[in-house]
Amino acid sequence: MSKKNTYRIAVIPGDGIGPEIVPAGIKVLDAVAGEFGFELQYEQFPYGAGHYKKTGTFMPDDALDVLKEFDALYFGAVGLSDVDDTLPARLFTFRVRTSFDQYVNYRPARLLPGVEGPLASKGPQDIDLVVIRENTEGEFVQSGGFIRPEFADGMATNTSVFTRKGIERIARYAFELARRRRKHVTNVTKSNTLIHSLAYWDRIVEQVRAEYPDVQYAKMYVDNASANFVLHPEKFDVIVTTNFIGDILSDLGGAIMGSLGLGPSGNINPEKTYPSMFEPIHGSAPDIAGRGIANPIGAIWSGALMLEHLGEQQAADCIVRSIEKTMQQGVMPVDLGGSAKTGKIADTVIKNLEAAK
């Protein structure tokens, strides 16, 4: 009898609806692990804005040393309405991404069968793309400061940082992914106005492009890309873009799927030198926390991305097919106009796993 694969998962439910959607995702993960014969071992950590309110820190000083021993991190959401909203990214999300060199932010956007998206003329065959966002440098490096901010001549600066290494590796990831999909990469940029940083980005992406003659390539400015997400989403397969642009476009991708509550994401260290972190793209939504109506699909789908990263591709595919069947059965969350509660949706996905194998 072959030895069962076992993976250690650090679970960070976080704030708001995080403690509702993450357990729903874990129920699905445990069910699919049973179906495919591997084991997930969890350890839970109370990090986030709630932890900050109690202790003054989003996570303890030794948290990263503890977390790096896990195979993956499964995360809910971070942030509360009474905590400064500049802190969660700086003190939690960015710290994890940069410390664990999670330089790929992987965000698929696909209109699921059974979901009525906001684009009346577009169906599932038209909306199936992945935003590959550079995740550790660019516009979000937190380089800057204030100069005499309270005076009439006060000013503030933020400086973007783009390195050849950072651009090359995210571009290669995007082209390799495109080879496994429909062989098309769109570089979304704004180099006609950011004539140094993003012109350099374009130059390096186009140098990498030469290594992939079998992949079609297009460059599109972000304003044009935003319009085409709405008018012609079928133009896109794999999008490679910067940290800031990708942050915005991936939420637009969630919108054309029908709801940000559906969107999954992975903060990925492809070399697996460090653990990767998987989370839904929506926020903590404290206004609906505790009501049992949060949409768990983004968290469940993020769990599928986690299994894919860990090498359990069949199980990951099974979860996605089960999500599709659940939507086709009309078991819709409140944010999609339905009445199904968090637990009901997770239970239905689990019921559909056997048929989806």
Domain-terminating residue out of 206, 234, 257: 257
Whether residue 286 is contained in a domain is answered as: yes
CA-derived radius of gyration, the chain? 20
Whether residue 112 is contained in a domain is answered as: no
Residues 6+ apart with CB under 8 A from 312: 5, 36, 38
Domain-terminating residue out of 213, 231, 257: 257
Q: Are residues 232 and 264 in the same domain?
A: no
CA distance to 11, 25, 94, 225, 292, per residue, from 69 (Å)? 13, 22, 19, 39, 33
- pLDDT tens per residue across all 357 residues of the chain: 456 899 999 999 999 999 999 999 999 999 999 999 999 999 999 999 999 999 999 999 999 999 999 999 999 999 999 999 999 999 999 999 999 999 999 999 999 999 999 999 999 999 999 999 999 999 988 888 999 999 999 999 999 999 999 999 999 999 999 999 999 999 999 999 999 999 999 999 999 999 999 999 999 999 999 999 999 999 999 999 999 999 999 999 999 999 999 999 999 999 999 999 999 999 899 999 999 999 999 999 999 999 999 999 999 999 999 999 999 999 999 999 999 999 999 999 999 998 888
| Number of domain units in the chain | 2
Domain-terminating residue out of 206, 230, 257: 257
Q: Which two tokens stand for residue 200?
A: 């350099």
Q: Are residues 138 and 252 in the same domain?
A: yes
Give per-residue pLDDT as tens, 16-33: 999 999 999 999 999 999
Task: Residue 329: give its domain's CATH number.
Answer: 3.40.718.10
Whether residue 186 is contained in a domain is answered as: yes
Q: Are residues 100 and 216 in the same domain?
A: no
Q: Are residues 298 and 349 in the same domain?
A: yes
Q: Is the dihedral of CA 90, 96, 100, 104 positive or negative?
A: negative
Q: Are residues 223 and 345 in the same domain?
A: no
Q: Are residues 306 and 353 in the same domain?
A: yes
Q: Which two tokens stand for residue 327?
A: 């939507």
Q: Are residues 248 and 272 in the same domain?
A: no
Q: Are residues 309 and 195 in the same domain?
A: no
pTM score of the predicted model? 0.94
- Domain of 223? 117-257
